[in-house]
Structure 1
C-alpha cells in the first residue's frame, strides 16, 4: 500500500504517545487496516486509519463530555494537575455523577468535578465542593465506585474485576485479554480490592 504511516508518525499526528496508541490497538476495537504484526514497531497506518483513530482518541479524551459538562467539570490546574484518567467505558457513570453535581449547583451550592482516575479497577472521582455537601457527594461517589466494578472500563458492558499477574482492571469477556494471563489466586475471587483490603486489616477471612 502507498503512503503508509509508521507507528511513531501516527502517534505524532494524533497527538498521543506511542504507549497510548499501542493500548488502543491492544483493546482491539479500533485497529489499523494492514494486519497488525507481532512486533508493534512494524505497525503501519493508512490515511483512513488515522481518521478513525482520531475519533477514538477524542472519545478517550472525553472531549464531548468536557464540552457538555463544562459547568460542573473544572479541570485540575497547577503543578501535578490530573485529568480524567480512566477508560471511556465509564462515561455513563461519569455523566450520572456529574448530573448529581449539577443538581447541587442548581440548588446554589458549589459542586465541581476536578479529576478522576482508575485505581485497582475502580473509578475514583475528586471534587471541589462546599463542606455541607460532603456526605451527599461521598454517597454519590460511592455509587459511582460500585458501578465501575461492574462496568467494563473499555466499552461499558457488564464486567467484573479481572486479575492478571501484574495488573487488575474491570473488564468484560471481550476485553479481559488486557490483563494477560489470569492470576488464579485472585482472579474471580477478589472483586473489590478496597473491600478485600479492609477485611484483611480487620482480620476477617477472604
Structure 2
C-alpha cells in the first residue's frame, strides 16, 4: 500500500489529537485497514479509513448532540473550560438528563448543562439552574450517575465497574480490556467508588 497515512497525519486530517485516534483503535470497534502495530506511533491508515474515523471522532465529540440540545447545553467557556469528557456509550443517559432540563426550561426555569466528565467510572454532570429546582435537578443527576455505573462508557451495553491496577472504568465484557489486567483486590468487589469511600469513612 503506497498511500499509507501515519497516525500523526491522520490526526491532522481529522482535526484531533493522536491520543484520541490511538484510543479509538484500542477500543477496537473502528480499526484501520492495515494490520495494527503494537506501538501506537506506528499505526497507519489508508485514505479510505479516514472517512470512517471521521464519523467516529464526530460521535465522540457529541457533534449531533450539541446541535440537537443547543437549547439546554451551553458549553463551558473561558480559561480551563471543560466539555463532555466521557465515552459515547453514555449518550442515552446524557440525553435523558438533558430532556429533563428541557422540561424545566420549558416551564420557565433556568436549567442548562455546562460540562460533564467520567470519574471513577461514573458520569459527573455540572449544570446551572434556578434555585427553585436545584433539588429536582440533583435527583436527576443522581439517576444519571447510577445508570452510568451500569452502562458501558464505550457502547452503552450492560456493564459494571472494571478495576485495573491503575484505572477503573465502567465497561462491558467486550471493552473491559481497556483497564488492563484486573486488580483482584478491587475488581468485582468495588462497584461504586463513591459509595465504597463513604463506607470506609463511616467505618473508620
Q: 2: CA distance between counterparts of 1:106 and 1:88? A: 27
1:37 shift after superposition: 1.4
Q: 2: CA distance between counterparts of 1:62 and 1:121? A: 19
Write out aligned runs for 1:1-206 (5 A). Answer: 1-203=1-203
Secondary structure in structure 1 of the residue aligned to 2:201: helix
Q: 2: CA distance between counterparts of 1:83 and 1:99? A: 18
Deviations 1:64-89 (A, max 9, x none): 00000000000001111000000000
Q: 2: CA distance between counterparts of 1:198 and 1:133? A: 26
| Structure 2 unmatched runs, 5+ | none
TM-score (norm 1): 0.98
Deviations 1:154-198 (A, max 9, x none): 000000000000000000000000000000000000000000000
1:19 shift after superposition: 1.0
Count of matched residue positions in the alignment of Structure 1 and Structure 2: 204
| Structure 1 unmatched runs, 5+ | none
Secondary structure in structure 1 of the residue aligned to 2:151: coil
1:2 shift after superposition: 2.1
1:43 shift after superposition: 1.1
1:42 shift after superposition: 1.5
Q: 1: CA distance between counterparts of 2:39 and 2:104? A: 51
Runs of 4+ in structure 1 off by over 4 angstroms are none
Secondary structure in structure 1 of the residue aligned to 2:3: coil
Deviations 1:104-133 (A, max 9, x none): 001000000000000000000000101111
Q: 1: CA distance between counterparts of 2:9 and 2:109? A: 47
1:39 shift after superposition: 1.9
Secondary structure in structure 1 of the residue aligned to 2:174: helix
Secondary structure in structure 2 of the residue aligned to 1:174: coil
Deviations 1:10-61 (A, max 9, x none): 0111111111110010000011000001222221101110000000000000
Aligned-residue CA RMSD in angstroms?
0.7
